[in-house]
Amino acid sequence: MCIGRIAALDREMTHSVIELNPIAAEIARRLDLERRRGRVRGPLHGLPVLVKDTMTGAPALRDAPLVARLRRAGAVVIGKTNLSEWANIRSNRSSSGWSGRGRQTHNPHVLDRTPSGSSSGSGVAAAAGFAAFAIGTETDESIISPSSANGIVGIKPGVGVVSQAGIIPISASQDAAGPMARSVEDAALVLGVIATRPADYRGGLRKGALRRRR
């Protein structure tokens, strides 16, 4: 379903997905069969996820720790997302969401509005329903800003809560990876899975906590 949505909507309109996993459907079928047989790997069993890309022209030699945690929890990595090239610092006139390989990412709500960045593709893909959730990275607002621009929820965890391994380093005291999803509960669930010390962050949520606060 998600791959079909990407094919129908993303390639000519939003440009949020830069690479698709050619065996994603096969992995999903295998996980569906496991569920029917009573085996559930974890809270993300069978859910499709898109992960922010890091570089072009270099195949990943191994999974980053957070990707390994996603897979162990049952998530299906269906591809990688577009991003603001060079973390959007290649020029003081650079456009959020543009990369030489992925072209310009577009906000799915209004195509001529900014998707923000640098986790542009992850924000757009999560908002457009191209995956159940996405993973972004942030040094300074690169998860929070595109989440706001695309109408979703993004969490930048404290440094060290999620492993930095596999992230192109900009600032060791600020770099972090985090979830981008369409609800607070979903984002909290994913954060608990990818955290170095797994936890159920949903326990800290309170219905109506933001009432009259914005």
Q: Give the position of tokens 């509005």.
A: 113
pLDDT tens per residue across all 214 residues of the chain: 799 999 999 999 999 999 999 999 999 999 999 999 999 999 999 999 999 998 767 778 889 999 999 999 999 999 999 999 988 777 777 789 999 999 999 999 999 999 999 999 999 999 999 999 999 999 999 999 999 999 999 999 999 999 999 888 899 899 999 999 999 999 999 999 999 998 899 988 888 777 776 5
3-class DSSP assignment, residue 48? strand
Token pair 């893909």 is at which residue?
125
Instruction: Verify whether residue 94 is a known catalytic residue.
Output: no
Q: What is the pLDDT of residue 25?
A: 96
H/E run at residue 98? strand 98-99
Range(s) of the domain holding residue 135: 2-203
Q: Please state, as a whole number, how many other Cβ atoms lie within 10 Å of the Cβ of residue 95.
A: 15
- Looking at residue 172, its amino acid is A
Catalytic, out of 118, 122, 147, 163? 118
Asked if residue 133 belongs to a domain, the reply is: yes
Q: 185: closest CA among 212, 163, 155, 158?
A: 155
CATH number, domain at 7?
Answer: 3.90.1300.10
| Residues 139 and 170: beta-carbon distance below 8 Å | yes
- Indicate the length of the chain as a whole number: 214
**Domains: count for the chain:** 1
Enter the tokens of residue 51: 């992960």
Q: 208 lies in a domain?
A: no
Q: In this structure, what token pair is assigned to residue 65?
A: 């720790």
Annotated catalytic residue: which of 142, 145, 147, 163? Answer: 142
Q: CA quadruple 123, 124, 129, 135: dihedral positive or negative?
A: negative
Mode of pairing for the β-strands spanning 153-154 and 176-181: antiparallel
Query: With helix as H, strand as E and coil as C, how does 132-153 read?
Result: CEEEEEECCCCCHHHHHHCCCE
Identify whether 80 is a catalytic site residue. no
Counting beta carbons within 10 angstroms of the beta carbon of residue 5, is it exposed (0 to 12), middle (13 to 18) or buried (19 or more)?
Answer: middle
Can 148 be counted among the known catalytic residues?
Answer: no
Record the pTM: 0.93
DSSP state of 87: G
CA angle in degrees (0–180, nearest 5) for 153-15-124? 5
Q: Which residue out of 16, 52, 84, 116 is catalytically annotated? A: 52
